[in-house]
């Protein structure tokens, strides 16, 4: 009788333990989110100067007065609500400068959305002005469907849109509003 009672208790404990084991789930990500609203940034940086280097060579310098990190979202992004100043250096250490009043970088798509008084200037003095400009970091491609002004040498082109690789070697002007040669 005592053997049967021990066996019954052991069986009940085993069933209870197995039930508890299989009812548990991995919710570590949910526990990390406790106290963090998904509408709020997970991190805020004020007045920063970021230098990106590769193999001992500076490839980019990013300066901004505020950065908001929304990597806690399902579609993560980084926002620069007060604008950016970005210097990018090529293999020959030639500098391209990008300035915008507002920027947002989407992590999954590697797309950078620049807005408000966007100005991109290359070391060759080619300059692009736009109210909004997208940059695909994977393809190194610039584009906008909003009015843009492109200055190349003494030529100034007004357009309804712009499409080009980042080195301006494959430029497509959308609905050009004439070519103006500027004598400087």
3-state secondary structure of 36: coil
Q: Which of 154, 131, 152, 135 is nearest to 143 (CA)?
A: 135
Residue 12 lies inside a defined structural domain of this protein: no
Task: Tell me how long the chain is.
Answer: 184
Residue 131 lies inside a defined structural domain of this protein: yes
Which residues are bridge partners to 172 per DSSP?
163
Mean pLDDT by 10 residues, the chain (184 residues): 61 60 60 63 92 91 95 93 93 93 94 96 92 92 93 88 86 74 56
What's residue 115's pLDDT?
Answer: 97
3-state secondary structure of 184: coil
* CATH value at residue 117: 2.60.450.10
DSSP 139: T
Which residues are bridge partners to 133 per DSSP?
114
* Domains: count for the chain: 1
Residue 62 lies inside a defined structural domain of this protein: yes
């Amino acid at each position: 009788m005592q053997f049967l009672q021990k066996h019954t208790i052991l069986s009940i404990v085993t069933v209870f333990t197995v039930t508890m084991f299989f009812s548990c789930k991995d919710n570590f990500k949910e526990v990390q989110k406790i106290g963090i609203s998904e509408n709020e940034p997970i991190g805020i940086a004020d007045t920063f100067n970021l230098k990106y280097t590769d193999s001992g060579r500076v490839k980019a310098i990013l300066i901004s007065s505020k950065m908001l990190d929304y990597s806690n979202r399902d579609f993560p992004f980084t926002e620069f609500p007060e604008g950016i100043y970005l210097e990018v250096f090529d293999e020959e250490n030639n500098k391209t400068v990008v300035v915008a009043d507002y920027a947002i970088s989407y992590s999954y798509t590697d797309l950078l959305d620049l807005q408000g008084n966007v100005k991109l200037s290359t070391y060759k003095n080619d300059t692009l002005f736009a109210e909004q400009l997208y940059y695909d970091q994977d393809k190194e491609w610039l584009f906008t469907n909003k009015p843009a002004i492109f200055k190349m040498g003494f030529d100034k082109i007004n357009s309804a849109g712009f499409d080009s690789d980042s080195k301006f070697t494959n430029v497509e002007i959308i609905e050009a509003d004439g070519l103006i040669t500027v004598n400087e």
